[in-house]
Chains A and B, each alone.
Chain A
Amino acid sequence: MKNTLIASLLIFLLGNLCHLGLPWWGLAIIAALVGFGVRSHAWAMFFAAFLAGFSLWYAAAWMADHDNGGLLSAKVGQLFMGLGGSELMLVSGFLGALLAGLSALSGKFARNMFETKQSPRQRNYLQQRRRR
């Protein structure tokens, strides 16, 4: 649980490095690295990254939009079947979420390949053996 939170925060915070001119898929790399480096269950990792990616892209879009007084999003929304500014932010958030989630999951499964993870039965047996 704690690790999941850490993973989420890490992705969100490090993701802000994207402001510094990383390519748009920079978030994918960051999420993958976090997914690899932080120990967590697969679903938890996906969810953590999904949340972080959504928050990151949504918040950044919101800040830009607020600064601009909603001028541009009102126009761009018309290009995408009459969406409003807040809906466009949701689209951005969702895309960021998907990107982060899948990337983090890839990182997690990569980690799995290197970890010697024991099944609960195997662990029990080894513990019992050690006690003897």
Chain B
Amino acid sequence: MRIFKFLFTLLLTLGLIWQMSSPLQIGDKSIPPLGKIFNPFSGFWANGESIQQTTFKPMSLPGLSGTVEVVYDDLMVPHIFAQNITDAARVQGYVTAQHRLWQMDITTRKAAGRLSEILGERTLRIDRITRRRGTAFAAENDLIGWQKSPKTMSLLQAYTDGVNAWIDQLSPAEWPIEFKLLNYAPEAWTPLKAALVTEAMAETLCSWEDDVESTNAYAQLGAENFEYLYPEWNPKQQPIIPDTGQWIELHPLLPPPFAASATRALGYSSPEDSPEEYPHDGPILGSNNWALSGSKTQSGKPILCNDPHLNLSLPSIWYQVQIHTNETNAYGVSLPGVPGVVIGFNEQIAWGVTNVSHDVSDWYNIHWTSPERLKYKLDNEERSVQFRYETIRIKGQPDLIDTVRYTVFGPVTYDFDSESPLRNCALRWIAHDIPEHSAFDVFLGLNTGKNYEDYKNAIPGFDSPAQNFIFAANNGDIAIQTQGKYPVRGQQQGRFVQEGDRWANAWHSYIPAALVPSMKNPSRGFVFSANQHSTPPSYPYYYLGNFEDWRSRRIYDRLSRVQNATTADMKSMQLDNFSQRAADALPTMLHLLDRTQLDASGRKMMDELAQWDFRYEANYLAPTVYEIWFDSCYAATWDEITALESGGKTPKTDDLAASKNGKIAMLYPDAWRFVEMLQTDSSSLFFDHPNTPFRETAKDIVLESFKQTQAYFQKNPDKKVAYGISKGFVIKHLGQIDAFSRLDLKMGGHRTAPNAISKTNGPSWRMIVELGDVVRALGVYPGGQSGNPGSPYYDNMVDTWASGNYYELLFLKKPDDSSNRTLGKQVFSPK
């Protein structure tokens, strides 16, 4: 009798323990193990950090050659004082992991195509595409390149060991909360993961292309219309490197004899492609940087500014750090997972980056010689593919082994999707190449650099993602260089999908370092970039890209006009909500709008718009109205293209036929071209609606879209709100957990304004550096140094950033520099 009672109760108890250790499935929601999560000793309660004070435990790290002191300031920025670069890297790895371990894990998982391991089947397609695009392949090639330099590898290994020293001493109670919620354990850091971090940036910044859309547009519209609608050069552009006659004497490398540009129209675009940001307006991820020479500043010394625009997340993509060694005293932002300071300054120089935005991804149509696709035709030969097997682990399911075919051009990415127009195309992407130098060697060169020569020697190793490196020094020098590895192209090569059956179409050579555009100490007194064209068309090499048209013009205007500049002027520029696009388009649209055709409320709306100063301020109503009007005006104009997109003429060749949806990916004209047409060609045939008997002009389109806008707000009065509310700006947690996100902010700014805040993207770091005998800097990013939602340093800088304020960056010379801003010191001793 008694034994039954005992066994029954025991079973109940064990059953309870087992249930509390396992995740629960309720509908489509997965609840983490209740016992693990809710117990106060090792569950989520343990992740709450004290708000009263932080204690810094001394630590001994094997491999250190000397003691390293880390001073933390009131923003939890670590100021690392080490004797040499290797010790500094080791400790940088440790402290970065201390604050951002889960971010480092999820970022590298995404880049490696390993999300399904922890998230299950729902991320399988994303993982497959990532692998097939060759991101992990690119990372492996990075490592091959880096291993050529023992100095690079020892630095990387020291950083890796530092990260692992942190991980090794973690008890499960101390795991970051995301590991607990997703129920998996942190794993060791490796040098390959550092490569994955840099490749993740490359994927973000230099994977852009629109070969399929252009190919289809050319095939559907014909050469004349194509050239009319999609000119490559905007005459109002202010390129990064103007033509000062420096290219006249150049002997550029000859481009290849480029044959057969477009292929047949290719049909439906892969569902992966996010719908083109509509209207087509250049990169939504971009950045600004500029440097003023002493001739334009009040101090007489240069000022350098940089605000990279990226997807905003919590934790932030950046991590502030100061690194002081016998060779360097550098402060700035770093990328978690990679040693060094990426954007910042030291006691002599300052530097920053913006994205160059060149197209360095080309698709090649492979001519298979058999249905099994084992061999393909290349000139007169038959080549065999190389197979790469990607094993994708899926939580709760058996592994998937994906077979990827690699050609001489690159991987065939979409052949598993019979509806993709790219299913027989191989991807040639610059990031796949084995690098000559590592990216962080370049940044190390900048961290330790003292002058222009050091800068010029450091950056040529930087291949991808190509960046506009801006520079300023105490001695007054300013410079900028559009640094990257660029293929030498034939005219228009890379605009369309190319035939992969002839080697002549491949990339054979790259623009030599000496001919990469650069500028030093121009007489105009400033250098700048905002993702616009690197050069005017007179530059001897052809290139193409996703260039910006509005911010750059505004920044150029302000830099030209500014005199006796101070940091206040710089702040005002970084926070400038003025949109050049609105300034160009709105007066034209108002001029074209026939007031006599409007009712009373229409005239009122028109007058209110006419009062607007083209600034996207959060408390203004006009931007909300204008956005709707501009977008519908654009959409009404390009109805022909939309019609071609959804089941217009389909190509004749049946193996490349459009998908069952009948959709064909089409290119839409740039917004600047649209505005130009409104201004100079208002009776263009494109303003006509083909399906009406009447021949419409721009006036009709403007009127029609204005009335549509009125109707929209009549139907949705709750949408007629201040811009800050309608914008819907959010900073999301990296794991898309709303509870850890900031969803409450009402922001102004616009992608076409210098303050390029859009719904989820914006200035991820704002930095202003005043060079001089004592370098002073201001900075802020929308996040916090800690990636722990339970820390008071998780999002403590968000409100400062949102209200347009900055912090004075604490640039210490010695660890014991007295400051009321330091919280404490952490000492690392050699073991």
Chain A interface (Cβ < 8 Å from any Cβ of B): 18-19, 21-25, 27-28, 32, 57, 60-61, 63-65, 67-69, 71-73, 75-79, 88, 91-92, 95-96, 98-99, 102-103, 105-106, 109-110, 112-113
Contacts and interface: CB of A to CB of B under 8 A. Distances in A.
Given A68-B790, A69-B51, A78-B738, 8 more contacts: A18-B39, A24-B39, A25-B20, A72-B48, A95-B34, A96-B40, A102-B9, A106-B13
20 contacts: A24-B20, A28-B13, A32-B13, A61-B40, A64-B46, A67-B48, A68-B790, A69-B792, A71-B790, A78-B739, A92-B38, A96-B39, A99-B17, A99-B35, A102-B16, A105-B13, A106-B9, A106-B10, A106-B13, A112-B2
Contacts of A57: 38-40
Interface in B9-62: 9-10, 12-13, 16-17, 20-21, 34-36, 38-52
Interface in B655-696: none
Contact of B171 (A21, A65, A67, A76): A21
Contacts of A92: 38-40, 43, 45
Given A28-B17, A95-B34, A112-B2, A65 B48 contact: yes
A72 B35 contact: no
B5 interface: yes
A69 B806 CA distance: 26
Nearest to A112: B2
Interface in B731-779: 737-740
A122 B17 CA distance: 39
**Among the interface residues A28, A67, A95, which one has the most CB atoms of the partner chain B within 10 A?**
A95
Contact of B40 (A60, A76, A98, A105): A60
B2, B177, B181 — most chain A CB neighbours (10 Å): B2
B76 to A, nearest CB: 14
Interface residues of B, number: 42
Contacts of B36: 24
Interface of B: 2-3, 5-6, 9-10, 12-13, 16-17, 20-21, 34-36, 38-52, 171, 173, 177, 181, 737-740, 789-792
B38 A91 contact: yes
Contacts, number: 120
A51 to B, nearest CB: 16
A46 to B, nearest CB: 9
A6 to B, nearest CB: 21
A25 B21 CA distance: 9
A63 B48 CA distance: 10
Interface of B (DSSP majority class): helix
Contact of A71 (B6, B51, B738): B51
A15 B163 CA distance: 34
B739 A113 contact: no
A23 B41 CA distance: 9
A125 to B, nearest CB: 20
A22 B739 CA distance: 29
A92 B739 CA distance: 19
A113 B2 contact: yes
A109 B9 contact: yes
Q: Which of A24, A78, A102 has the most C-beta atoms of chain B within 10 angstroms of its own C-beta?
A: A24
A113 B40 contact: no
Contacts of A76: 44, 177, 739
Contact of A79 (B3, B12, B48, B737): B737
A119 B737 CA distance: 59
Contacts of B12: 102, 106
B41 A18 contact: yes
